[in-house]
Amino acid sequence: MNLSIQSKMPDLQFSVFAVISQLSERHRAVNLSQGFPDFNPDPALVQLVSENLKQGKNQYAPMPGILPLRQALAEKIEKLYGATYDPESEITVTAGATEALYAAITATVHSGDEVIIFEPFYDAYPPVVQYAGGKPIFIPLQPPNFSIPWQRVKQAVSKRTRLIILNSPHNPTGSLLGKNDLAQLAGITDGTSILIISDEVYEHIIFDGRAHVSLASYPELRERSFVISSFGKTFHTTGWKVGYCAAPKPLTDEFRKIHQFITYAVNTPVQWVYAAFLQQDQSYLQLGDFYQSKRDLFARLLENSRFKLLPCHGTYFQLTDYGAISDLPDFEFVERLIKEHGVAAIPLSPFYSQPTHQKIIRFCFAKKDETLQQAAERLCRI
Ligand code: PMP
Ligand code: GLN
């Protein structure tokens, strides 16, 4: 009997984050690869989880999420971005932003539909589009600023364009969308049925006095957008895997048809905790300053190294050019870095649809100062 299955995704590899994390662990490297903090969340947050467990918040949450959390999110979005979402019918709590991205893409993309994706891209987008039968149309962003070439977007739009996927602050480049970008996008999508997914998981990790420009804040764009975010980045709780999607009712109705059969509902006690914690806006409004000092510390520590840092305006990722050190392709360079120098980073090429020859890798600086110091000492010796 042949029990091998015919792969639905024959060309797909395991995610670079899974591969590099494993390698990093095997070699006990200082891990600046996958994006997660190596420090704990606020103890009050952990205490609240324990209280909610004891209070019996242990059974299924409602399918779209507990209402107090959706209400707290609606209030937060209104306060920060001036946009109104009905918590009953327009906000859905998901198992991380990953599930929200999957649900939004599968709810909207039909066979043969085109989806505009900017590269470098967060690695979850293209496989899900392809799995849904869609065709990614890749538009490259150029270093060092990685800004969107709107003229190229205009040319790429066709009758088959179903979705445009945006990500700001942008993983892995740390670039940001500005008001002018949204005006361009509004012009291009006006009069079309193109929908937008806006991945805003790093919305509070933004530096140098800049402000996050949410798609929610632009009424014409809000009407056609799934705005997705994640509590994991905001509260240093990536392992709790809770995120959400805000979208107008007709979009949310379709989104929930997918969500209900991926997870049905999400971790109940953690939803109660976030609902309570969102009342204290200082916890997320100070996040930019917190990570800006880590970005600046890491840059100072690498000043005497041969790595060249690219601009970073948001997220907790620092792109660095290693061209002065080696001619190796990025994946091999990262393997050497882990095995010979004991520091793990993420190569940039998995964020592209085609092989690239850039000598750029990504470091995560969401780490204790001691971890950054230890990594930098090793990096400066190279
Ligand atoms: N989008 C981007 C741009 C990310 O970097 C990540 C992961 N960190 C996600 C989505 C997934 O978020 P989550 O961990 O909440 O699923
Ligand atoms: N978003 C995280 C990163 O970019 C990783 C999340 C994951 O492992 N899927 O590093």
Give me the torsion for CA of 289, 293, 296, 302, rounded to 10°. Answer: -150
Residue 355 has a pLDDT of 87
Cis peptide before 144 (omega within 30 of 0): yes
Residue pair 246/90 in contact by the 8 Å Cβ criterion: yes
Residue 336 token pair: 């050497």
Summarize the confidence of residues 35-49 as an average pLDDT: 96
> Over 80: is that where the pLDDT of 376 sits?
yes
What pTM does this model have?
Answer: 0.97
Q: Which among 204, 370, 350, 227 is positioned nearest to 291, based on CA atoms?
A: 204
User: What is the rounded CA–CA span in Å between residue 291 and residue 207?
Assistant: 8
> What share of the chain in percent tops pLDDT 90?
93
Which alpha helices (DSSP H) does 91-236 contain, by range?
96-108, 125-131, 150-156, 179-189, 219-222, 231-234
Of ligand 1's atoms, which has the minimum distance to the CA of residue 171?
3
Query: pLDDT tens-digit profile of 174-217?
Result: 999 999 999 999 999 999 999 999 999 999 999 999 999 999 99
Say if ligand 1 is within 6 A of residue 238 CB: yes
Q: How high is the mean pLDDT of the chain?
A: 96
Summarize the confidence of residues 1-14 as an average pLDDT: 85
Give me the torsion for CA of 39, 61, 230, 114, rounded to 10°. Answer: 140
Distance 98 CA to ligand 1 centre (A): 6
Residue 314 has a pLDDT of 98
Nearest CA, atom 9, ligand 2: 17
* Domains detected in the chain: 16-41+285-380 (3.90.1150.10), 59-282 (3.40.640.10)
> Over 90: is that where the pLDDT of 3 sits?
no
Query: pLDDT tens-digit profile of 308-320?
Result: 999 999 999 999 9
Say if ligand 1 is within 6 A of residue 169 CB: no
Distance 97 CA to ligand 1 centre (A): 5
> Over 90: is that where the pLDDT of 38 sits?
yes
Q: What is the DSSP string of 93-113?
A: EESHHHHHHHHHHHHHPPTT-
Distance 196 CA to ligand 2 centre (A): 22
Query: pLDDT tens-digit profile of 136-177?
Result: 999 999 998 999 999 999 999 999 999 999 999 999 999 999
Say if ligand 2 is within 6 A of residue 33 CB: no
Of ligand 2's atoms, which has the minimum distance to the CA of residue 172?
4
- Where is 26: in which H helix or E strand? helix 16-26
Buried b (16+ CB within 10 A) or exposed e, 87-118: bebbbbbbbbbbbbbbbbbbbbbeeebbbbbb
Residue pair 263/64 in contact by the 8 Å Cβ criterion: no
Distance 192 CA to ligand 2 centre (A): 33
Say if ligand 1 is within 6 A of residue 73 CB: no
Nearest CA, atom 14, ligand 1: 96
> Over 80: is that where the pLDDT of 28 sits?
yes
pLDDT band at 281 (very low <50, low <70, confident <90, very high): confident
Say if ligand 2 is within 6 A of residue 17 CB: yes
Say if ligand 1 is within 6 A of residue 102 CB: no
Question: CA–CA distance from 377 to each of 136, 180, 347, 371 (Å)?
Answer: 41, 41, 20, 10
Query: pLDDT tens-digit profile of 232-268?
Result: 999 999 999 999 999 999 999 999 999 999 999 999 9
